[in-house]
Amino acid sequence: MDRLVNTVRPYAWGSPTAIPELLGVAPTGEPQAEMWMGAHPGAPSRTERGPLNEIVDADPVRELGTPAVEKFGPRLPFLLKVLAAGAPLSLQVHPDLDQARAGFAAEEAAGIPVDAPHRTYKDANHKPELICALTPFEGLCGFRAPTAAADLIAELGVDSLKPYVDLLHAHPEEAALREVLTALLTADREEMAHTVAEAAAAADRLGGHHTPFANLAHHFPGDPGVIAAMLLNHVTLQPGEALYLGAGVPHAYFDGMGVEIMANSDNVLRCGLTPKHVDVAELLRVVRFESNDPNVLRPEASPSGEEVYDTPIDEFRLSRFVRPEGASPTDVTAPTPQILLSVAGRPKAGEITLAPGESVFVPAGEKTELSGAGTVFRATVVA
């Protein structure tokens, strides 16, 4: 078992205080957005044996177990994060596996450097993900029904938005959502900036369910993503609740801290609310234009006390243990690799005490018990 030393990414949207408070350290004054736990080459966790990606590369069967290697190949299939949003993230989607493989191969063949600002595919993997709230957590997830989006936009009373309202009412669902998102992203930027400013003023005045979009406009004045965001469901998670985000589902996070797990990928296609590159053509190819109600997940308890978040993929499995004082030790030995993350109390994994924000990597098959009081998230795979 390896205690992990993890990198905190200082993205501009990060909260300057949430992750330092979890870790019990002084804030640096800079945003602290994501703490990465895993073997992603962009920021691998470090151990006394070396970087975790190098440990896995040196002996994948020993570290990951034969079932995981046979199913996913010789790499840790998931990336675990603590995410702390102090400002809205970009509106974005992730590709499915076939799209990621094709897109990565095409950009490699074109000779586009992997760190180029206009590069879309950083790797050849998909990026389904799950976010579980540690604090009240606000964001967007999936398309509203077109008529509901039309009503929300129409209430603003902005004349230049009426054509979008009419499109949302006039077409079948897929066509309506596709046409409106395409029109928003390809509109004249100067004209759209005036429209967004007028819409933001109206949203400020109306308040209520328009308030989140007024706040977006304050962060991203003139960005067409502000109007695009009104096509999506607004969601607030309470601590312990989660959202699963599959391929092609547009989403954005606004505020709050959570535990996030995803397939081991960094592929993001942005739709707006960002100064970064937006590849409109590829985005429209990847987005799934279908409305749905956000499926807020709550954990399902097992007799062992493990609370599991059920998702439809195998690259990751997230669960948690909420251990009261005096609880008996729990055997968490598994034939698959695990990362155990403490978020409250001072529980122990084996002989290692975990303060909030501390984590360990447990190789496949290693005998492991949880003991002591606290809350521990367990990340592993289904193999």
Q: Which residues pair with 219 in a beta bridge?
A: none
Contact criterion met (CB below 8 Å) for 262 and 79 = yes
Active site residues: 270
What strands, in cross-sheet order, belong to the sheet with 330-331?
Answer: 330-331, 369-371, 348-349, 352-353
Q: Which of 367, 313, 370 is nearest to 340 (CA)?
A: 370
Q: Which of 119, 123, 71 is nearest to 95 (CA)?
A: 123
- What backbone phi and psi angles, to 5 degrees, belong to 69? -65, -40
Task: Give the C-alpha separation, 236 to 216, whole Å.
Answer: 15
* C-alpha to C-alpha distances, 116 to 52, 119, 120, 196, nearest whole angstrom: 26, 5, 9, 30
CA angle, residues 212, 81, 291, in degrees to nearest 5: 45
